[in-house]
Amino acid sequence: MSFTGAALAHHAATRPGQTALVCGGASFTFAALQTRVEALALQLHRRLPAVSSRQPRIGIFLEDPLQALMAFFAAGRAGGIALMLDTTWPDALRDQILAASAPDLVLDAAGFPALMAEAEERKETAGTPLPFPAPEDLFYAGFTSGSTGVPKGFARTHRSWTESFRLSAAAFGTSPQDKVLVCGGLVHSLHLYAAVEGLCAGAGVEVMPRFQPRAVARRLAQGGTTMLYATPTQLQLILREVEAAPSLRLVLSSGAKLQPEDRQMLTRRLPGVRTCEFYGASEMSFISLQDGTGPEASVGHPFPGVEVEIRDGQGHVLPSGGAGHLWVRSPLLFDRYICGGGEEVRWQDGWLTIGDRGWLDEAGFLYLAGRDKRMINSSGLNIFPEEVEKVLRAVPGVTAAAVFGAPDRLRGQRLAAAIWPEPEAADRLKDGSQLRRAVLTALGRARCPRAFLLFEAFPLTPGGKTDLPALERAVHARLQTR
């Protein structure tokens, strides 16, 4: 397989009538999907400007999963980079990302139907066939939080994903006999990967239009679904609703650590179903795999084909049990950032670190100790507190703000904000509504703190900076009394 999506043509030729993709009441066979992808790729190629200095970038601003997946495959087939843009972003954040990533063309709900109709009309007059993309061409860019305030646009090559597909097939046995259920939005790299990997393996894929635990549980109870991808938070909510899943053979969890009590509940509610969690990152893809046979606190052994080292601050490899920065070498690593970035991401002789810290035990199991620069993982989303603090500090009457993660049974961590108000603003800010509104407008619901705690003053270090460890302890103490 030379490029992501190349297998669609094979499946269209060998099993044209098999249902490939389902969402709501709409569906496509492999033949229909491949025909539309190829036609759309040709139409995109016609519309894209000639950019000699870089590959063309195609922004995909589509909420409909069927449209988004067709556009995703077509963008890569046309030799472009698919920029997966979130339709729920606030306007200011969307505009910031568009300015930073500079797409040459943006596909949105208003224009996509006409574009697709024109592509279908002109597919018979295509002329010279499109050249196939090269394995080392970039084809996809997603976006995660950035400590600089500019979201990081991580870009991947075709090879990084086709190699991931090869390893997925070996580890999880994905095949044309499978039916994969994807229960979240495709801007999340986990859900996008689940859908694309399933289709490239020849499996049937169903994408839920939006995450609704009760709807997922009903779908599982109807039978047919053999594989489910979800974050731990999603799994907790699904397990509250699920009564049966007669065809399910495998649950794949990622985005945060699957807690022992969650794995136990999976065993009780879905007996006989294999559960695997994999630790990874947008920039690294698979890093480790935990299938329940290793120590509960670990994230498993390094994934087959992936090398892991723990190094100290000077770059020296540490022995078993030594905690340090996690470095990874594999064919699955991302290529570059097209916007944003940070000093925590470093390359060295084919090895990559993104600032995660952990250790390996003597048996080779990997444990995570935390993430650099105070990154918070909430509901599978990596959040930099600095970006939330910047918004809060801009609220009139706020002297200083600090954001922390607090333990949360459902989300892993929830955000809590400490606020140092100006004396005359304390009464106005104490109910948190103005603060909450500011964050929702600028960053959206996922990055909005659940609690806003006012302090008369922040503890300071001798150097005059906020004493973050002391303040975090005070925040946790206040939360325990609420």
| DSSP codes, 262-275 | HHHHHHHHSTT-EE
Q: Which domains does the chain have, with CATH numbers?
A: 6-210 (3.40.50.12780), 283-372 (2.30.38.10), 375-481 (3.30.300.30)
Say whether pLDDT at 462 is over 50: no
Q: Residue 65 has which token pair?
A: 């999963």
| Structural contact between residues 156 and 177, judged by C-beta atoms closer than 8 angstroms | no
What integer is the mean pLDDT of 346-360?
93
| Structural contact between residues 48 and 104, judged by C-beta atoms closer than 8 angstroms | yes
Bridge-based pairing state of the strands 19-23 and 204-207: parallel
Angle at 325 between CA 320 and CA 326, to 5 degrees: 75
Rg over CA atoms, the chain: 23
CA dist 34 and 260 (Å) reads 42
| CA distances from residue 199 to 182, 205, 407, 414 in whole angstroms, order as listed | 12, 7, 37, 34
Q: What is the pLDDT of residue 465?
A: 65
Q: What is the pLDDT of residue 381?
A: 85
| Structural contact between residues 245 and 225, judged by C-beta atoms closer than 8 angstroms | yes
| Structural contact between residues 232 and 257, judged by C-beta atoms closer than 8 angstroms | yes
What integer is the mean pLDDT of 156-185?
95
Say whether pLDDT at 78 is over 60: yes
What integer is the mean pLDDT of 136-145?
91
pLDDT band at 478 (very low <50, low <70, confident <90, very high): very high
CA dist 291 and 252 (Å) reads 10
CA dist 216 and 213 (Å) reads 5
Residue 481 CB partners (closer than 8 Å, separation 6+): none
Say whether pLDDT at 374 is over 80: no
What integer is the mean pLDDT of 275-294?
93
CA dist 247 and 227 (Å) reads 9
Helices (H), 222-329: 232-239, 260-269
pLDDT band at 390 (very low <50, low <70, confident <90, very high): confident
What integer is the mean pLDDT of 425-452?
95
CA dist 427 and 450 (Å) reads 19
pLDDT band at 50 (very low <50, low <70, confident <90, very high): low
Q: What is the pLDDT of residue 297?
A: 85
Closest CA to 207 of 24, 3, 446: 24
Q: What is the pLDDT of residue 145?
A: 63
What integer is the mean pLDDT of 345-350?
93
pLDDT band at 112 (very low <50, low <70, confident <90, very high): very high
What integer is the mean pLDDT of 48-59?
81
Say whether pLDDT at 126 is over 60: no
Q: Strand, helix or coil at 319?
A: coil
What integer is the mean pLDDT of 238-245?
91
Say whether pLDDT at 150 is over 80: no
Bridge-based pairing state of the strands 346-348 and 336-339: unpaired
Distance spanning both ends of the chain, measured CA to CA: 56
**DSSP state for residue 317 in the 8-state scheme:** B
Q: What is the pLDDT of residue 147?
A: 47
Residue 128 CB partners (closer than 8 Å, separation 6+): none
Closest CA to 321 of 373, 294, 359, 269: 359
Name the β-bridge partners of 477: none
Q: What is the pLDDT of residue 52?
A: 61
Q: What is the pLDDT of residue 119?
A: 86
Which range is least confidently modeled, 13-22, 91-100, 252-261? 252-261
Which range is least confidently modeled, 275-284, 304-313, 371-380, 399-408? 371-380
Identity (one letter) of the amino acid at 7? Answer: A
What integer is the mean pLDDT of 237-244?
89
Q: Residue 434 has which token pair?
A: 């103005």
Question: Which helix or strand (DSSP H or E) is residue 139 part of?
Answer: strand 138-144
Q: Strand, helix or coil at 448?
A: coil
Q: For the chain, what percent of residues have pLDDT higher than 70?
A: 95
Q: What is the pLDDT of residue 236?
A: 80
Q: What is the pLDDT of residue 72?
A: 98
pTM above 0.75, yes or no: yes
Q: What is the mean pLDDT of the chain?
A: 91
Q: What is the pLDDT of residue 464?
A: 47
Greater confidence, 52 or 473? 473
pLDDT band at 255 (very low <50, low <70, confident <90, very high): confident
CA dist 274 and 267 (Å) reads 9
**Which backbone phi and psi does 163 adopt, to 5 degrees?**
-70, -40
280: left (phi over 0), alpha (psi -120 to 50) or beta: beta
What integer is the mean pLDDT of 26-31?
97
What integer is the mean pLDDT of 200-229?
95
Distance of CA 327 to the CA centre of its chain: 20
Cβ neighbourhood burial of 462 (10 Å; 0-12, 13-18, 19+): exposed
Q: What is the pLDDT of residue 325?
A: 93
pLDDT band at 468 (very low <50, low <70, confident <90, very high): confident
Name the β-bridge partners of 236: none
Q: Residue 476 has which token pair?
A: 């946790």
Q: How many residues does the chain have?
A: 482
CA dist 140 and 356 (Å) reads 23
